Amino acid sequence: MIDRTIQSTSYTLFDEMKEGIILVDNHGVICYFNKSAERMMQKQYHLQIDQHILSSIPTSGMMRVLHTKRKEEQKMFAISEKDYLLISRYPLKNKENQVIGALAVLQEAGQKREWADDDNIRMLLTLVLQKSAEAYVVVDELGHVIMQNSSYKELLSILKQQNGCELMIKNREEVFQTRRDAEITINTDASSLHIKSTPIIVNGILKGCLQIIHNETETVYLKNELEQTKSIIRGLEHSYQFIDFIYHSPFMKFAIEQAKLAAASKRVIFVRGEEGTGKFMLANAIHNGSENKFGLFKRINPKRDRQQLIKLLSKRFGNYKGTVYLENVTSLSMDEQSLLLEIIKDFGKVEQEYSLRLIVSSPIKLEKALIAGMFIEELYDELMKSNIYLPPLSERKEDIYPLAKHFLLELNKESGRWIGEIDLEARKVLEAYSYSTNILELKAILQLAVIRAQEESTVLTAEHLVPISIKTKKEQPMDLYFDTDEDNQTLSVLVEKYEKVIIEKTLSKLDGNKTLTAKTLGLSVRNLYYKLDKYDLN
């Protein structure tokens, strides 16, 4: 985001200019304009700070510049039937070449003067140097300081304490010798400074050096704090209890009772069920209901977590007192299955006391892999000794309605809606649907329905469930009402496609009125503009 302090520090400079100046941030929100811009635009448009540029000037090209990252110079812009302006637009980038905003320079057609002359550039350069949060110092070819900003002066004391001045000089000398950029980082327990030096070459002659000192002390501190916070969150985000399961069906009740008994034992547990039936959630609940609950819960996917898998199969878990959840056991090779079989046998020995608890799962039926010769029969027998079956939604239809109501409450919190009920027709639609990914798909369908519903809606109806069409006669899985092009697209891609369609249709229905569109869809105006830019709908 553009530093908002420029609004106060640049009044004197910018307000004296004949040219109009308009600054927007990387989302297109106006963060500054000078008096000349206000005067030039007031005949037709009203500029306002913190308002999106397209709300003030619907035909503005600033969003295009933010998107293309290319400057546009001396473009004609009509402000009435007879009058027009010459507008130059420039993307503003940070040192990582990321666009942080855009600048528009407005000239009256009669001025006939190039805005970017030496005087204006020099004034803007001085302003940027003095008001930048980063420290700058410019030295000549002899090493004498010819320009420095206030941020550099503030860092001098830190540099002196850490012998940083000597290191800066050495860094500078390296630039003079190589005529190339040079970087150095000065780290201590209390601070971290990153220095980048760039040669100043004019007509092939080395004239001096520009040094930029970035104080990364706070950044390093925040990164450490973030890592600690992430570690805490990782330990809390998968904290499920048996009470968290929502069910009325006898099949699900039997599975939960089995899991409670399993939590009290030390046997290896095999959790089986289709994708999206809650295997991970159940494994975590078993962990939290066991004596291992104060240890870590480690999730291992054989394809993604190879190092962790090798460590497990080689029995290098030592005195680990947590729970290891090994998912998708059918993706193990035959050799890896043999090693897992040995571990499970060890767990079954009375004299072998492991503090580790092991839970294994599979999204497909082991019988299929067994028949295909891709699974060891003895391992199958061992896993089936203590197995828990989680039924799909097609076998627990009485659970769909309470699950849907629960997910609606979560979606209400995220979207600010008040949909608390599901009418009878919508309930029939949800219960008749054949879910390929079970609970995952149910949540996705409800998310799309909430997006489609009007802001004032309090009851979910069948009309909100347009993305699914029920084939009751053949009981086939339903298709999304829009073309998905490919069958293997991810859920997030499908959600975005539907969101784009809804926004586009609503915008068209309301004759392009963005404020009303945002209100209708329950979005803020800024969020709507972000989505319009994201889906290329501007």
> What pLDDT score does 13 carry?
66
CA–CA separation, 142 and 135 (whole Å): 21
Chosen domain end from 111, 132, 161:
111
Residue 233 lies in a domain: no
CA–CA separation, 383 and 369 (whole Å): 14
Four-CA torsion 499, 502, 504, 510, nearest 10 degrees: -140
Residue 307 lies in a domain: yes
User: Are 501 and 365 members of one domain?
Assistant: no
User: Are 147 and 60 members of one domain?
Assistant: no
User: Are 245 and 377 members of one domain?
Assistant: yes
> Number of folded domains in the chain?
4
CATH number of the domain residue 506 falls in:
1.10.10.60
Chosen domain end from 358, 391, 424:
391
CATH number of the domain residue 168 falls in:
3.30.450.20
Chosen domain end from 77, 111, 145:
111
User: Are 249 and 282 members of one domain?
Assistant: yes
Residue 125 lies in a domain: yes
Residue 296 lies in a domain: yes
User: Are 207 and 342 members of one domain?
Assistant: no
Residue 421 lies in a domain: no
CA–CA separation, 260 and 247 (whole Å): 15
DSSP assignment of 326-347 equals E--GGGS-HHHHHHHHHHHHHH
User: Are 245 and 367 members of one domain?
Assistant: yes
CATH number of the domain residue 312 falls in:
3.40.50.300
User: Are 75 and 155 members of one domain?
Assistant: no
User: Are 382 and 289 members of one domain?
Assistant: yes
Tens-digit pLDDT profile for the chain (538 aa)?
444 444 444 555 677 778 889 999 998 999 888 888 888 887 678 888 889 999 888 888 899 999 888 888 888 888 777 778 888 999 988 888 888 999 999 888 765 445 555 556 566 666 666 666 678 888 888 888 888 887 787 777 767 766 667 888 888 888 888 888 988 887 765 677 888 888 988 888 888 898 888 877 777 777 766 765 655 555 455 578 899 899 999 999 999 999 999 999 888 999 999 999 999 999 999 999 998 888 888 999 998 899 999 999 988 876 678 899 999 999 999 999 999 999 998 887 754 566 788 999 998 888 888 888 899 999 999 999 999 999 999 999 999 999 999 899 888 887 778 888 899 999 999 998 888 889 988 988 898 888 888 878 889 998 888 656 443 333 444 333 444 444 455 656 667 777 888 888 888 777 777 877 777 777 777 778 778 877 877 6
DSSP assignment of 367-405 equals HHHHHTT-S-HHHHHHHHTTEEE---GGG-GGGHHHHHH
Residue 360 lies in a domain: yes
Residue 462 lies in a domain: no
Residue 228 lies in a domain: no
**Which structure tokens are listed for 383?**
């896993």
DSSP summary character for residue 22: E
CA–CA separation, 299 and 312 (whole Å): 11
User: Are 104 and 162 members of one domain?
Assistant: no
User: Are 161 and 294 members of one domain?
Assistant: no
User: Are 252 and 334 members of one domain?
Assistant: yes
| 3-class DSSP state of 206 | strand
Query: Of all helices (H) and strands (E), which one includes residue 220?
Result: helix 217-236
> What pLDDT score does 258 carry?
95
**Which structure tokens are listed for 323?**
């729970």
- Return the amino acid letter for 30: I
User: Are 253 and 287 members of one domain?
Assistant: yes
| Pair 243, 284: CB distance under 8 Å | no
Residue 126: give the domain boundaries.
119-218
> What pLDDT score does 224 carry?
67
